[in-house]
Amino acid sequence: MPRLAAVLIALAAATPAAFAAGPDGPGWAVAPEGAALRDAPGGETVREVAPADILTATEETAEQGGTLWRRLSQGDGPDLWVEEAALEPAPLATFPGSDMPVAGICAGTEPFWSAAWDETSMAVRLGRGEAEDRPASAATPEGWRHGVLLAEGLTLVFEARACPYSPVDGLVWGRGALVETDGARRVLLGCCRPLPPALR
């Protein structure tokens, strides 16, 4: 129990970061459908923005040919670049009083776990077995913007900030802690991202 309390206190004490992209810093962003995602500032087009793409903008910008470019992290793939002027903060619907998107997924390793949620349920997978769907409801602790989702025997705590628990080198925006309140009483740490149903 002391370890669980320490993790929850550390999460509560962390300063929440904004979701904004562009000049305000890293976070989730959108760009117009068809906008070119390039291999370098002003470089070759790797792919175009697809409908419902939620991009992860980093703090890094570069100027090339009079155009300002922002680096995008793909987590486990090569970074891409997009014109800064094309980016806007992702218009995400969030649970009242928090920065937690109304639809998203968190996952971690050692041991493997995942939790995908929407406004009424959380599909939880512990280990390599099948996901178990559980009714869930949002709660907002007083005084901080982290999201909390409650389900039978589980609490998911979400932060809108860079995730240090990723096995990949790229920036992953969004971190989570899945707390088992029954049985093993473990705290599982991982990274999170919104899912397209959260886009407004």
**Interatomic CA distance for residues 158 and 190, integer angstroms:** 10
Report pLDDT digits (tens) over 184-194. Answer: 789 999 999 99
Peptide bond preceding 96 in cis form (omega within 30 of 0): no
Q: Are strands 147-151 and 132-139 parallel, antiparallel or unpaired?
A: antiparallel
pTM of the model: 0.80
Report pLDDT digits (tens) over 67-100. Answer: 999 999 877 778 899 999 999 999 999 999 899 9
Q: What is the 3-state secondary structure (H, E, C) of 53-118?
A: CCEEEEEEEEEECCEEEEEEECCCCCCEEEEHHHCEECCECECCCCCCECCEEEEECCCCEEEEEC
Report pLDDT digits (tens) over 160-180. Answer: 988 888 776 678 889 999 999
- What backbone torsions phi and psi does residue 192 show, to the nearest 5 degrees? -135, 160
